Amino acid sequence: MTLEQSARVAEIPPSGIRRFFEIAEERDDVISLGVGEPDFSTPWAARDAAIKSLELGKTSYTANRGMRELREAIAEYVTRFDLAYDPDGEIIVTTGASEAVDLAFRAFVDPGDTVAVVEPAYISYGPGVTFAGGEVLPVPTREEDEFRLTVDALERAGAADADALVYCYPNNPTGAVMSETDLEPVAAFAREHDLAVFADEIYAELTYEGEHASIAAFEGMRERTVVFNGFSKAHAMTGLRLGYALAPESAVDAMNRVHQYSMLSAPTTAQYAALEALASCEGEVESMVEQYDRRRRFVLSRFEELGMPCFEARGAFYVFPTVPDGFDCETFAEELLREKGVAVVPGNVFGAGGEGHLRVSYATGLDDLREALARIESFLTERDLL
């Protein structure tokens, strides 16, 4: 056998963002609003705890499911979203939420199963389903609905016949959130059509104006839902690679079966950092959330002034403005990058419903945001679009 790609891998198209990287490399004054991770460093107390754990030689594997203390802290933490999970059987600590997502697909998707993917979406779900041998059914959401998932969208896409549903709210790339009222009919739909639900709630903490609601908290949903969360976003810990999944005991058992053979355990140093992050960094998280919220309001009002309509995103750290008439999103993103050195991600990268939009991240300081928006303004002015 030679090293020829498996059919599953060959099926995955190369990333659409590659060539943008290369263009960005050519300039040294690029302001990037293309970033999907916090600009803040991990709160110092959490970094310090990681350093101390290294000094003490805490460098062995942990229990497959993660340190018991950390699972207890997670159980306590998620009560704020009205979620109750037993640290002993219903929580598994993973190498980033990314691993949790992958575990769920591998543990619950059989070849031929259909997974409805709510789009625009974080780019991992489709490939993850494919690697597990499942079929992807895109469920486009629409700007008129502020990119929320509706029963209408599910029905139109034919999701009633799917086996599972995966989504992320607060959403990457749109910044959309789902309130309790928005989730209710979706939960009813999942029960009625017997869908498993994979709810990526990694941006839960980054919800502005209002509270994050989890679908797993609805009657009859806990037994069919896996919740993903992690420390990358709210605790600014992307590089430490730590996330977790919450699910009923038998489901966590199944995911753990994959995890114990593929990963053994999540990084130990990161687990110490996470433990401290939950124990003492709430104030810092709040202050980061406050900073994001300021930037969000600033960016939204600038796009409105620039005549690039943008629904009021209330979560994560993204807004999703519409490109002006006569542009497709890729051309706009490319010309803006070449001419003005502002990097944004074309919306079509994120699947159905993303065409005609840009993902603009505000995980960047206000000074850079002001400058970036001024450059976008001059880009539009030069084209007589303002």
Partner 1 sequence: MSEREVLELLRENARYGTDDIARITGLDEDDVEATIAALEEAGVVRGYQAVVDWDELEDERVRAVVELNVTLDRETGYADIASRLARFPEVTALRLVSGDYDFDMEVEGDSIREVSRFVSEKVAPVPEITQTVTHYVMTAYKENGIEFGDGDEDDRLSYSP
Ligand X SMILES: Cc1ncc(COP(=O)(O)O)c(C=O)c1O
Q: Is the dihedral of CA 256, 262, 265, 271 positive or negative?
A: negative
Let me know: does 357 contact 332? Beta carbons within 8 Å.
Answer: no
CB closer to partner 1, 183 vs 349: 349
Q: Which range of residues in 60-68, 158-166, 176-184, 290-298 is near partner 1 by CB under 8 A?
A: 290-298
CB closer to partner 1, 216 vs 345: 345
Interaction mask 163-202, partner 1, x per CB under 8 A: ---------x------------------------------
145 binds, among ligand X, partner 1, none (CB under 5 to 8 A by kind): none
Footprint of ligand X on 108-147 (CB under 6 A):
122
CB closer to partner 1, 96 vs 134: 96
34 binds, among ligand X, partner 1, none (CB under 5 to 8 A by kind): partner 1
CB closer to partner 1, 172 vs 268: 172
Let me know: does 197 contact 230? Beta carbons within 8 Å.
Answer: no
Minimum distance between the CB of residue 238 and ligand X, rounded to whole angstroms?
5
Whole-number Å distance between alpha carbons of 347 and 361: 12
39 binds, among partner 1, ligand X, none (CB under 5 to 8 A by kind): partner 1
CB closer to partner 1, 74 vs 101: 101
Q: Which range of residues in 72-80, 90-98, 152-160, 287-295 is near ligand X by CB under 6 A?
A: 90-98
How many C-beta neighbours within 10 Å does residue 235 have? 26
With binding defined as CB under 8 A, does residue 32 bind partner 1? yes
With binding defined as CB under 6 A, does residue 214 bind ligand X? no
With binding defined as CB under 6 A, does residue 96 bind ligand X? yes
CB closer to ligand X, 136 vs 376: 136
Minimum distance between the CB of residue 374 and partner 1, rounded to whole angstroms?
11
Contacting partner 1 (CB under 8 A), which of 9, 21, 76, 79?
21
With binding defined as CB under 6 A, does residue 202 bind ligand X? yes
By the 10 Å C-beta count (0-12 exposed, 13-18 middle, 19+ buried), 23 is classed as middle
Q: Kindly determine how many residues on this chain lie close enough to bind ligand X according to the rule CB under 6 A.
A: 13
| Burial state string for 143-155 with b = 16 or more CB within 10 A and e = fewer than 16 | beebbbbbeebbe
Contacting partner 1 (CB under 8 A), which of 59, 280, 301, 381?
301
Mind giving me the DSSP string for 95-143? SHHHHHHHHHHHHH--TT-EEEEEES--TTHHHHHHHTT-EEEEEE--G
How many C-beta neighbours within 10 Å does residue 76 have? 12
Of 214, 199, 97, 167, which is closest to residue 353 (Cα–Cα)? Answer: 167
With binding defined as CB under 8 A, does residue 294 bind partner 1? yes
Whole-number Å distance between alpha carbons of 203 and 213: 11
64 binds, among ligand X, partner 1, none (CB under 5 to 8 A by kind): none
Identify the three-state secondary structure at position 197: strand
193 contact partners, CB below 8 Å, separation of at least 6: 159, 160, 161, 162
**Lookup: tokens for 176:** 């959309």
Strand ranges for the chain from DSSP E: 31-32, 91-94, 114-119, 135-140, 164-168, 196-200, 225-230, 243-246, 318-319, 342-343, 345-346, 358-361
With binding defined as CB under 6 A, does residue 238 bind ligand X? yes
Contacting partner 1 (CB under 8 A), which of 12, 51, 84, 366?
366
Q: What angle do CA 35, 40, 41 make, to 5 degrees?
A: 115
With binding defined as CB under 8 A, does residue 17 bind partner 1? yes
Instruction: Using CB under 6 A, list all residues that contact ligand X.
Output: 36, 96-98, 122, 168, 172, 200, 202, 230, 232, 238, 243
